[in-house]
């Protein structure tokens, strides 16, 4: 954390010299994000996208920050902006799917997560959420398939093992 604090101080000096320095706001926002200070991250990333709205990195990170703050509606808006900037990006589809899932919008989540899965079929997190969604929908065969993929990636994962135990009869 001390390294982030030092970086933030140096970048704040750069902003004092040039308050339209997009990169400094982005990097400060990223440092606050890494420290887990999402409110300060949000404030700096909002300034970054205000200066340079077409920057993908700032927009996607701001999406994640809104999601971590529990402001899912704003996260969805930001993810859609990022999607317009870089359509087909795995992180955008995964973020949208994850956020829709947190909002209880299961079918929208499923649509986005299936796209993310096509982009990166070996991703543990995507397969885990797809397994949970299918379990909640009562589609136990598909749920089992996704949790088996998770098991192949992380055989010791307790949550995966719990789901596999629930799904034994469908194996």
Query: Domain coordinates of the chain in residue numbers?
Result: 1-78, 88-170
Report the percentage of the chain scoring pLDDT > 70. Answer: 100
The per-residue pLDDT for range 95-144, each reduced to its tens digit, is 999 999 999 999 999 999 999 999 999 999 999 999 999 999 999 999 99
CATH number of 1-78: 1.25.40.10
Of 17-21, 22-26, 82-86, the poorest mean pLDDT is in: 17-21
Convert the chain into a string of H (helix), E (strand) and C (coil). CHHHHHHHHHHHHHHHHCCCCHHHHHHHHHHHHHHCCHHHHHHHHHHHHHHCCCCHHHHHHHHHHHHHCCCHHHHHHHHHHHHHHCCCCHHHHHHHHHHHHHHCCHHHHHHHHHHHHHHCCCCHHHHHHHHHHHHHHCCHHHHHHHHHHHHHHCCCCHHHHHHHHHCHHHC
pLDDT, one tens digit per residue, over 61-87 is: 999 999 999 999 999 999 999 999 999
The predicted structure's pLDDT at residue 4: 82
Matching fold, domains 1-78 and 88-170:
yes
What is the pLDDT of the chain when averaged over all its residues?
95
Cα end-to-end distance, the chain, whole Å:
46
pLDDT-derived band of residue 3, with 50, 70 and 90 as boundaries? Answer: confident
88-170 has which CATH code? 1.25.40.10
Between 15-19, 29-33, 141-145, the lowest mean confidence (pLDDT) is in: 15-19
């Amino acid at each position: 954390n001390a390294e982030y604090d030092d970086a933030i101080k140096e970048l704040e000096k750069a902003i004092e010299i040039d308050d339209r320095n997009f990169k400094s706001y982005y990097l400060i926002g990223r440092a606050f994000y890494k420290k887990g200070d999402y409110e300060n991250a949000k404030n700096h990333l909002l300034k970054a996208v205000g200066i340079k709205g077409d920057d993908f990195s700032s927009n996607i990170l701001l999406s994640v920050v809104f999601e971590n703050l529990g402001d899912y509606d704003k996260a969805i808006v930001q993810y859609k902006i990022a999607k317009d900037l870089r359509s087909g990006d795995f992180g955008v589809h995964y973020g949208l799917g994850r956020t829709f899932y947190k909002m209880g919008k299961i079918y929208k989540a499923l649509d986005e997560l299936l796209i993310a899965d096509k982009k990166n079929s070996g991703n543990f997190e995507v397969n885990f959420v797809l397994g949970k969604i299918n379990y909640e929908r009562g589609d136990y065969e598909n749920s089992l398939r996704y949790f088996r993929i998770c098991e192949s990636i992380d055989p010791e994962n307790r949550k995966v093992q719990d789901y596999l135990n629930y799904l034994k009869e469908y194996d």
